[in-house]
Amino acid sequence: MADKAQLQEAIKTQGEVVRKLKSEKASKEQIDEEVAKLLQLKAQLGGDEGKHVFVLKTAKGTRDYNPKQMAIREKVFNIIISCFKRHGAETIDTPVFELKETLTGKYGEDSKLIYDLKDQGGELLSLRYDLTVPFARYLAMNKITNIKRYHIAKVYRRDNPAMTRGRYREFYQCDFDIAGQYDAMIPDAECLKIVYEILNELDLGDFHIKVNDRRILDGMFAVCGVPDEKFRTICSTVDKLDKMAWEDVKKEMVNEKGLSEDVADRIGEYVSMQGGQDLAERLLQDPKLSQNKQACAGLTDMKLLFSYLELFQVTDKVVFDLSLARGLDYYTGVIYEAILSQTIPAPAEQNGADEAGVSVGSVAGGGRYDGLVGMFDPKGRKVPCVGVSIGIERIFSIMEQKAETSSEKVRTTETQVLVASAQKNLLEERLKLTSELWNAGVKAEVLYKKNPKLLSQLQHCEETGIPLVAILGEQELKDGVVKLRNVASREEVDVPRADLVDEIKKRTL
């Protein structure tokens, strides 16, 4: 707990920081952050009466999940986890923070988005940025050379949040990865099959999965005449093709990245190509590409991949697309990205935003990263890996919006029956019956009031979707029965107490 003088000093310093930024006309984003910090310090100091006033909010870019959102999340997770288990995956978990060192040098420019922990004496730690690097660390540390695992957990990026589009600073990743030395493209094909199954089951409308290969991209750049040292930066420009027109991408290549016009035009020809196995075959005949060893290896694998995808019956949604160029440095072979066709309507409360209907974009992506584990191994031993990551927050956003427009109510509990009474002084009897139901595995609730009105007990059922009410009264107790009421139909029937559990289970199957 900071002392008052210290706080006042800190407020003064922070005030100067804000004034300086304003005078320098710094970005709104930056000023807002510093102002928030200032307000937080002021709040810590408290008001006039010395009363502590809290800033009641979650940290920027994070959110609470309320019970309704949790119910949706559970539904989505169940579908995804069932699919991972159907494919024989195990699961692991790793800590939320890693030695800072472990994350260093894996994310290129995005390293600036890593959250560091304060040095409180001890190790230097950072919050995990994804689940892939901790997975590679886990494999190297435990000398595991093959595993098929999934991992669902939160990761952290100090990015500019766009929460209305499902982009947060704390968000879930659902990763599935296959590590091990296997015959070509079989695990890769299974990853695509999994994406296909999950997107189908989630019922989010039409989608397609773009596939490409790092080696094909590199080969293409080489034969187009891109200098080696520009591969990465040109690659990240190509990656913008899903948001920008070719003309603008070309401008960036020529004006900002210094490519000559005709090199850019040659790239332009390739990156407009889309197809399936046929395109891979055609490009293997391409007079320039076929001369490049990297490109040939990639194209041969692509052909093989499509033959497996055919067996898995997923080729209707998979497109070999030469413009796909995912960001991360660590990919070494096949890469892919799944894109939903539908757009999300812009939320009503989002005034001033010029996005009339936001395209959801990528909801899953992944690829092959054969070098990452070797980066951790003291002897550099490689473990080939391929995996996929499901972008669950965007999927939650869609499901939440669907639930809002749907007439069907989202239930947040699974309660089967409320134990109620119409008369006074029956609390003990209600508690006793509730306990009997719990002991028999029935999901049951009872209002925590001595003498609740029957109406408020029935209202509780209406509000929360509890389908049944077990009503106790003097007469029922005397007769050894319970009045079982169906909330929706208002039908009531007397059930012998000994049969109650069976009757409830039968009605709530």
Site for a copy of itself in 429-448 (CB under 8 A): 431-432, 435, 438-439, 441-445, 448
Query: How do beta strands 357-368 and 385-390 pair?
Result: antiparallel
Q: How far is the CB of 46 from a copy of itself (least distance, A)?
A: 11
Tokens of 269: 């020809």
Taking CB under 8 A as the rule, does residue 70 contact a copy of itself?
Answer: yes
Which residue type is seen at 408? E
With CB under 8 A as the contact rule, the residue among 342, 401, 413, 425 that binds a copy of itself is: 413
Rounded to an integer, what distance in angstroms lies between the CA atom of residue 136 and that of residue 369? 10
Taking CB under 8 A as the rule, does residue 77 contact a copy of itself?
Answer: no
Q: How far is the CB of 97 from a copy of itself (least distance, A)?
A: 6
Q: Which is nearer to a copy of itself, 159 or 503 (CB)?
A: 159
Taking CB under 8 A as the rule, does residue 88 contact a copy of itself?
Answer: yes
Taking CB under 8 A as the rule, does residue 483 contact a copy of itself?
Answer: no
Q: Which is nearer to a copy of itself, 194 or 325 (CB)?
A: 194
With CB under 8 A as the contact rule, the residue among 165, 193, 215, 266 that binds a copy of itself is: 193
Residues 5-44 that bind a copy of itself (CB under 8 A): 30, 33-34, 36-37, 40, 43-44
Asked if 442 contacts 504 with a C-beta cutoff of 8 angstroms, the reply is yes
Q: Which is nearer to a copy of itself, 91 or 341 (CB)?
A: 91
| H or E element, residue 434 | helix 427-439
Q: Which is nearer to a copy of itself, 362 or 412 (CB)?
A: 412
Q: Which is nearer to a copy of itself, 344 or 426 (CB)?
A: 426
Other beta carbons within 10 angstroms of residue 126's beta carbon come to: 19
Rounded to an integer, what distance in angstroms lies between the CA atom of residue 434 and that of residue 445? 7
CA atoms 166, 168, 174, 177: torsion sign: positive
**How many binding residues for a copy of itself (CB under 8 A)?**
108
Which residue type is seen at 279? L
Choose among 325, 338, 321, 212: nearest CA to 273. 321
Q: Which is nearer to a copy of itself, 108 or 345 (CB)?
A: 108
**CA 491, 496, 500: angle at the middle one, nearest 5?**
75
Tokens of 111: 């390293």
Asked if 466 contacts 460 with a C-beta cutoff of 8 angstroms, the reply is yes
Rounded to an integer, what distance in angstroms lies between the CA atom of residue 137 and that of residue 107? 15
Tokens of 424: 């006074």
Q: Look at the block and give the residue holding tokens 């949790």.
A: 70
Q: How far is the CB of 266 from a copy of itself (least distance, A)?
A: 34
Q: How far is the CB of 441 from a copy of itself (least distance, A)?
A: 7
Which residue type is seen at 172? Y
Taking CB under 8 A as the rule, does residue 138 contact a copy of itself?
Answer: yes
3-state secondary structure 291-314: HCHHHHHHHHHHHHHHHHHHHCCC
Residues 341-400 that bind a copy of itself (CB under 8 A): 375-376, 378
Which residue type is seen at 445? E
Question: What are the residues facing 364 on neighbouring strands?
Answer: 338, 390
Taking CB under 8 A as the rule, does residue 58 contact a copy of itself?
Answer: yes
Taking CB under 8 A as the rule, does residue 162 contact a copy of itself?
Answer: no
Q: Which is nearer to a copy of itself, 156 or 207 (CB)?
A: 156
Q: Which is nearer to a copy of itself, 118 or 490 (CB)?
A: 118
Q: Which is nearer to a copy of itself, 287 or 441 (CB)?
A: 441
Q: How far is the CB of 179 from a copy of itself (least distance, A)?
A: 11
Taking CB under 8 A as the rule, does residue 505 contact a copy of itself?
Answer: no
Q: Which stretch binds a copy of itself (CB under 8 A): 79-87, 267-275, 332-340, 348-356?
A: 79-87
Q: How far is the CB of 252 from a copy of itself (least distance, A)?
A: 26
Q: Which stretch binds a copy of itself (CB under 8 A): 180-188, 260-268, 334-342, 356-364?
A: 180-188
CA dihedral in degrees (38, 40, 42, 45; nearest 10)? -140
Ramachandran assignment for 274, one of left (phi > 0), alpha (psi -120 to 50 degrees), beta (any other)? beta
Query: How do beta strands 90-91 and 147-156 pair?
Result: parallel
Phi and psi angles of residue 167, each rounded to the nearest 5 degrees, phi first: -110, 120
Q: How far is the CB of 221 from a copy of itself (least distance, A)?
A: 25
Residues 311-350 that bind a copy of itself (CB under 8 A): 311-313
With CB under 8 A as the contact rule, the residue among 120, 351, 405, 407 that binds a copy of itself is: 120
With CB under 8 A as the contact rule, the residue among 80, 133, 137, 204 that binds a copy of itself is: 137
List of residues 6+ apart from 79 with CB closer than 8 A: 198, 201, 202
Rounded to an integer, what distance in angstroms lies between the CA atom of residue 248 and that of residue 268? 11
Q: Look at the block and give the residue holding tokens 């699919």.
A: 83
Q: How far is the CB of 325 from a copy of itself (least distance, A)?
A: 23
Residues 241-280 vs a copy of itself: string with x where CB under 8 A? ----------------------------------------
Residues 196-215 that bind a copy of itself (CB under 8 A): 197
Q: How far is the CB of 292 from a copy of itself (least distance, A)?
A: 27
Taking CB under 8 A as the rule, does residue 87 contact a copy of itself?
Answer: yes
Choose among 4, 32, 2, 1: nearest CA to 17. 32
List of residues 6+ apart from 49 with CB closer than 8 A: none
Asked if 310 contacts 192 with a C-beta cutoff of 8 angstroms, the reply is no
With CB under 8 A as the contact rule, the residue among 19, 450, 453, 507 that binds a copy of itself is: 450
Q: Which is nearer to a copy of itself, 91 or 260 (CB)?
A: 91
